[in-house]
Amino acid sequence: MHDDRNLVEGRLKRVLDERIRPAVYPESVPLDVAVWHAPGEPVPVAEGLAGVPEPIEVGARWGAPWGTSWFRVTGTVPQAWAGRTVEALLDLGFDENMPGFQCEGLVYRPDGTPVKGLNPRNQWVRIGAPVEGGEEVRLHIEAASNPVILDYHPFLPTQLGDKETAGSEPQYTLTRMDLAVFDETVWQLVIDLEVLGELMAELPVESARRWEILRAVEKALDAVDLQDVGGTAAQARARLETVLSEPAVPSAHRISAIGHAHIDSAWLWPLRETVRKVARTTANMTALIEDEPEFVFAMSQAQQWSWVKEHRPEVWARVKKAVADGRFVPAGGMWVESDTNMPGSEAMARQFVHGKRFFLDEFGIENDEAWLPDTFGFAAGLPQIIKAAGSKWLLTQKISWSQTNKFPHHTFQWEGIDGTRIFTHFPPVDTYNCSMKGSEIAHAARNFKDKGVARHSLAPTGWGDGGGGTTREMVAKAARLGNLEGSATVEWETPGEFFAKAEAEYPNAPVWVGELYLELHRATLTSQARTKQGNRRSEHLLREAELWAATAAVRTGFPYPYEELDRIWKTVLLHQFHDILPGSSIAWVHREARATYDRLAAELNGIIDAAQHALAGEGSTEFVFNSAPHSRDGVPAGGARTPGPTGETARTPRLAGGYTLDNGLLRVEIDAAGLVVSAYDIEADRETVAPGHAANLLQLHPDFPNMWDAWDVDEFYRNTVTDLTDVDEISAGEDGDSLRIVRSFGASRVTQVLTLPPGERKLVIDTEVDWHETEKFLKLAFPLDVHAERYASETQFGHFHRPTHTNTSWEAAKFEACNHRFVHVAEPDWGVAIVNDSTYGHDVTRTVRTDGDRGTTTTVRVSLLRAPRFPDPETDQGVHRFRHALVPGAGIGDAVREGWRINLPERRVTGARDVAPLVSVDRDAVVVSAVKLADDGSGDVVVRFHEAHGGRARATLTAGFAFTSVTVTDLLERPLAEAPAPQLDGDRIAVRLRPFELVTLRLVRAR
């Protein structure tokens, strides 16, 4: 037979595009349209419906950036259409290639009942099936004219990302507002031909199945009368029945399709718009559930569910019914799909506490899975947090974006720092926006790396990022792919059903140990420094507020602020969403975040101040309150005492210029350029700074990645570096233990204060940067005279080691990484810690000196600031303040302790009495991360702690109050049946911990 394959395939494409698809709506009449533009921010539905609209014609421009326009469409169904299916086609000016990134709408009936959402891939509203003819149609559309930020030429700087700079130019052209006849037979033919055409394109040219499909498609096209598509569509479909009914081979890959609409809680739109995106999507999905009996939809992020409940009660009622029917599934068990690299230990735990508790309270549903398809890498401390929350599975697909190395598994056991393993799945479809295209299904089957031992994978199906969800076309395609020769099989299932099957078939899944590092988006550890500082400081203020409020409640009857803390925690957790905390959202989002963090800080400081004054009582004596988990200058952890005596630091000029600071423990030499040329550990007789180098060195790099400006830093940035050694001023500070250094570069200015505190083996570096650079990367370098093949950086409930060398491509790819409060570099008997109060990104490199002692220089560089121009063209412009400390002679325990101290400075309060700790622990390796009252309002005291040094620990926890019982609980403060009962001796509780083990205790107070 002659090879006419290209001829038939070309025919299929043209006939579908030009004849069959247009025939889905063979007849239409225009609707009358009027519009009312809401002034300012979105208005309540009742106000929008009551607005007085003015006529508008199709073809007119509408919609200022971030505006809201209420369209009213009216018309009458022609009598001639009686007995047929009629839909309204409402095109606000959509580009079908930008679902979720453009204008959107939510359709209402005149009584305010929501109907469904409108987006570029979902423009129809069913009027009747069948109609009687003569029906009056009246619909209202709440249309959001969200501007396109990420356009066809991506990453161009734009002022559209903030309503304050976006202007008022209309963004869209009203394109179509019609009533139309919907020919379902033709629509089904379209789906038949799309499925077969897409499948055919994925099959080998030499396969018999491909040619069988080709001949069937050819016969179907022969049956179509191009002048009467509707009249011949059924005949054409009949010619496809045989090839559509051939079953899949027994070994076919099996895909669990899960309806999905990944909705970024903020990104290229502000938080307030996400509230409406969620309402539009959930309205759409509940409508689709009513129409499609097999369809199942899953939605994560309890915050988004809460928004629907609060802002769209009519949609919420439909959601609740669909949940009760098992068709609309709460997923993930987290408050938001957060970043997992930067949130602190307690914050990561509270993501699960608040997320799971919401779904339990509202629906009685407990999530077994963590659902994080788009998060930018996963910290090594996460597995035990997932387990401690009562969950056991994890889903993500973002690791497929890695640029350098291909991850070797799609289904595996992920082991964290404490040995906890979590069954994990990466969907091989490599997208969380699967649309059931044949190319996607074939890619999932080919790409699946666990063939031969497993055959199940998951496909999150629906338009996402900006929402939209699953379409009826996707559902129809999935129905045909349920059991079709040549394809993987497809079945709608819940996340729990998928994971149960996948785990059962793969009991000996391979193990991956340590972080799941995304080889992309590394700059999210630095972009938008104020947002990151707001997060870090909020986390520590919350710790203080809980600690002192709980202590005061037990000791003095202070009213514990349950509701305030709950609300503040949820706000902080929301801002840990994976496009807010990472700094990859528009200017509007970060402007609001800064204001929110300031407001929360004022509120939390008020709670702390009130609790501390209640504890100290009325008086004039000064007391030092220590919120850190280790004692400080004689003040116990979680207690308050009068301050003790302090030593002295000597500051003397150097002959070569600069100064020497000496406190008897550490001698620091700062040269005339303000660089630290020596940090000498007197007790250890050991120099910290590598010979011929200088620490506290600011370095400036060009920073223009190939794409994803706010997200990415590409390795070639290191090729060019400017050491900022010119100094405007170096002078003795106001205190006898400090120096002040001022530098200028470009349009920016840096002021540093270097302080050697009396009695402490650390140099504190306060850096203020008035930053006005563009597309630059600012680093703070510490070249250390340490020979180390690996280094430690803090993560949730412990620390994680990374190599300093680049033996493999996996190691080389980690050229920018995350730490929390410290980075620690060490030889077996001596080490150095770099601690910080608000930075996350860093890099560590090693070189061997070729002259002198030929020793090893290990350089730790802290990432301070970037200046990308997309999506916020003014990223980080302005004044920033950072605090770091260089801690020579530090073991890992010193790094842990100093990391806490720099983030929890002492507070001084006047009063009348000391404060004994509510809870104390007798071993520094056991770190208490939270002391609080139980969330249920019972008054029980909850204590969370972990082993922080990476070894086994025995310790005694002593309660400073009478209690009747103690229980080991999960993160939600529920008893753990499998946990052994704690050993008690009066008010003392004996604990034994594995390396990095996390424990939560609940103590019932004696009444």
Helix axes 302-311, 313-324, angle to 10 degrees: 130
Task: Give Cβ neighbours of residue 591 (< 8 Å, ≥ 6 apart).
Answer: 162, 164
Pairing of strands 953-959, 926-933: unpaired
Scanning 634-721, the segments in alpha helix (DSSP H) are: none
Both tokens assigned to 607: 């709670």
Beta strands in 489-557 (DSSP E): 489-492, 511-513
89 contacts: CB under 8 Å, gap ≥ 6: 25, 28, 123, 124, 176, 177, 178, 179, 180
Concerning whether 374 is annotated as a catalytic residue, the answer is: yes
What is the C-alpha separation between 368 and 255, in angstroms, rounded? 20
| Most distant CA atoms of the chain, gap in Å | 102
H or E, element range at 832: strand 830-836
CA atoms of 451 and 445, how far apart (whole Å):
9
The span from the CA of 353 to the CA of 338, in Å, is 13
Q: Which of 183, 339, 374, 709 is catalytic?
A: 374
- Calpha distance 600→347 (Å, rounded): 15
Are the CB atoms for 769 and 691 separated by under 8 Å?
no
Decide: 53 and 114 in contact? Cβ < 8 Å: no
Of 24, 19, 105, give the one whose Cα is nearest residue 70.
Answer: 105
Q: Which residues contact 762 (CB under 8 A, 6 or more apart)?
A: 666, 756, 835, 885, 886, 887, 888, 898
* Buried b / exposed e along 361-387 (16+ C-beta atoms within 10 A): ebbebbbebbbbbbbbbbbbbbbbbbb
What one-character DSSP code corresponds to residue 516?
A: B
Question: What Å distances lie between residue 536 and 343, 531, 540, 841, CA to CA?
Answer: 8, 9, 7, 13
763, containing H or E segment: strand 763-771
Segment 846-852 long-range contacts (CB within 8 Å, at least 24 positions apart):
846/788, 846/804, 846/805, 849/690, 849/691, 849/692, 852/691, 852/692
| CA distances to 428, 714, 778, 814 from 519, in Å | 18, 10, 21, 7
In this structure, are residues 377 and 516 in contact, taking their beta carbons and an 8 Å threshold?
yes
Instruction: Determine the residue type at 83.
Output: G
- Residues forming a β-bridge with 260: none
Ramachandran region, residue 93 (left: φ > 0; alpha: ψ -120 to 50; beta: rest)? left
Of 607, 711, 732, 768, residue with least CA distance to 658? 732
DSSP single-letter state for residue 128: E
Alpha-carbon gap, residue 327 to 315, rounded angstroms:
15
Q: What is the DSSP string of 174-201?
A: --EEEEEE--HHHHHHHHHHHHHHHHHH
Q: Where are the alpha helices (DSSP H) in 251-301?
A: 271-291
Q: Which of 19, 149, 919 is nearest to 555 (CA)?
A: 919
Query: Is 586 within 8 Å of 268 (Cβ atoms)?
Result: yes
Q: Which residues pair with 862 in a beta bridge?
A: 780, 842
Q: How far apart are CA 735 and CA 724, in angstroms?
A: 26
Q: Which amino acid is at 885?
A: A
Catalytic residue numbers read 374
